[in-house]
């Protein structure tokens, strides 16, 4: 399947993914739901909540980083990747008031976001969706898929990223865990 540009994650009673937990890391959580569906068409009647984002071009990664990511990353939908996480994130006004080069400096030179992330490839597959320009409650919908044996590594990745200067700009973060059932 080709990658859809616009993706809607709908929390409700249907979908391929069973929700195993919803944790508020910063700011308010999302209402509890049993299942999550992922679609390139929003169904306004389905679900308790729906979050939409677009798969876009990179903003900050440089040539070497793009090359390293492409060489290591795995695609979504691997049969063994039966666990997933949807982590919607909103950053503060202070972040958005910065210039692009200042944001890059915080994300990579200060926080090593990509360098840290590369340690977990290809076990963790990922896709980033941008929501800010759609007027959505979150700026980003981050999506990760992995095999059960790599869940501990995923927790370690989160711990490392959440301790970085970049995360001081995160004002809302919800950690939704899923199982393909």
| Residue 174 engages ligand HEM in binding (rule: CB under 6 A) | no
| Residue 157 engages ligand HEM in binding (rule: CB under 6 A) | yes
Q: How far is the CB of 109 from ligand HEM (least distance, A)?
A: 13
Q: How far is the CB of 166 from ligand HEM (least distance, A)?
A: 7
Of the ranges 8-16, 27-35, 36-44, 57-65, which one interacts with ligand HEM (CB under 6 A)?
A: 57-65
Structure tokens given for 85 = 């996480």
Q: Residues 75-94 vs ligand HEM: string with x where CB under 6 A?
A: ------------x-x-----
Give yes or no for a contact between 95 and 103, defined as CB atoms under 8 angstroms apart: yes
| Residue 74 engages ligand HEM in binding (rule: CB under 6 A) | no
Q: How far is it, in rounded angstroms, from Cα 92 to Cα 87?
A: 16
Question: Per-residue DSSP letters for 83-122?
Answer: EEEEEEEEE-HHHHTS-HHHHHIIIIIIT-HHHHHHTTTT
| Residue 120 engages ligand HEM in binding (rule: CB under 6 A) | yes
Residue 60 has phi, psi (to 5 degrees) of -120, -30
| Residue 61 engages ligand HEM in binding (rule: CB under 6 A) | yes
- Helix (H) or strand (E) run with residue 7 in it: strand 6-12
Query: Which residue carries 């994130």 as its tokens?
Result: 89
Binding site for ligand HEM (CB under 6 A): 58-61, 65, 69, 87, 89, 113-114, 117-118, 120-121, 124, 126, 128, 140, 142, 157-158, 161
């Amino acid at each position: 399947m080709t990658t859809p540009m616009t993706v809607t994650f709908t929390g409700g009673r249907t979908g391929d993914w069973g929700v195993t937990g919803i944790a508020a890391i910063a700011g308010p959580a999302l209402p509890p739901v049993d299942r999550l569906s992922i679609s390139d068409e929003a169904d306004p009647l389905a679900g308790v909540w729906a979050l939409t984002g677009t798969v876009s071009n990179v903003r900050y990664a440089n040539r070497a980083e793009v090359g390293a990511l492409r060489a290591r990353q795995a695609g979504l939908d691997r049969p063994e990747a039966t666990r997933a996480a949807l982590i919607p994130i909103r950053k503060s006004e202070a972040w958005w008031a910065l210039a692009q080069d200042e944001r890059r400096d915080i994300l990579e030179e200060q926080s090593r976001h990509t360098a840290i992330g590369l340690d977990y490839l290809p076990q963790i597959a990922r896709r980033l969706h941008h929501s800010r320009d759609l007027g959505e409650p979150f700026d980003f919908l981050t999506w990760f898929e992995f095999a059960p044996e790599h869940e501990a590594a995923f927790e370690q990745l989160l711990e490392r990223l959440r301790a970085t200067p970049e995360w001081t700009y995160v004002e809302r973060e919800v950690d939704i865990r899923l199982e393909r059932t």
